[in-house]
Amino acid sequence: MMLLAITLTFSAFTALSLAMDKHQLELHGKAGASAARMRVWRWVGWALLTVAFALCVLDHGWAIGPVLWLGAMTISGVLIAFGLYPYRPRWIAPLAWALPVVGLAVALVAR
């Protein structure tokens, strides 16, 4: 379940970054998204962070679940901020779609 939480936080941070003008221009060039679409990205990002938090708490309890959620957010944030955005920004959106599917498959096989 921890891998699923990491992949969900990665997708959440990607959605939250797509809700910002700067990252819209970096990923899509001059064709930035409308304000309504950026609002949707913001809601999707927060919803994915909430789901990741719920998974961590359900899997590990209230004692350690929030700590693991913070760790998952740290791993995802570092990967995006220091790995992909500076060097491979075009990889972020496809990975944000594919990684949660991989994480879910691993979580289902591991159970």
Q: Is 111 helix (H, G, I), strand (E, B) or coil?
A: coil
Question: Which domain range does residue 30 map to?
Answer: 2-110
Q: pLDDT tens-digit profile of 34-66?
A: 778 889 989 999 999 999 999 999 999 999 999
Closest among 35, 41, 34, 40 to 92, alpha carbons compared: 41
**pLDDT-based confidence at residue 82 (cuts at 50, 70, 90):** very high
Q: How many domains does the chain have?
A: 1
From residue 27, give the alpha-carbon distance in Å to each of 5, 8, 9.
24, 20, 19
pTM of the model: 0.89
Does 28 have pLDDT greater than 80?
Answer: no
What pLDDT was estimated at residue 50? 97
Q: How many helices (H) and strands (E) does the chain have?
A: 5, 0
Q: 14 with 92: CB under 8 angstroms?
A: yes
What pLDDT was estimated at residue 91? 86
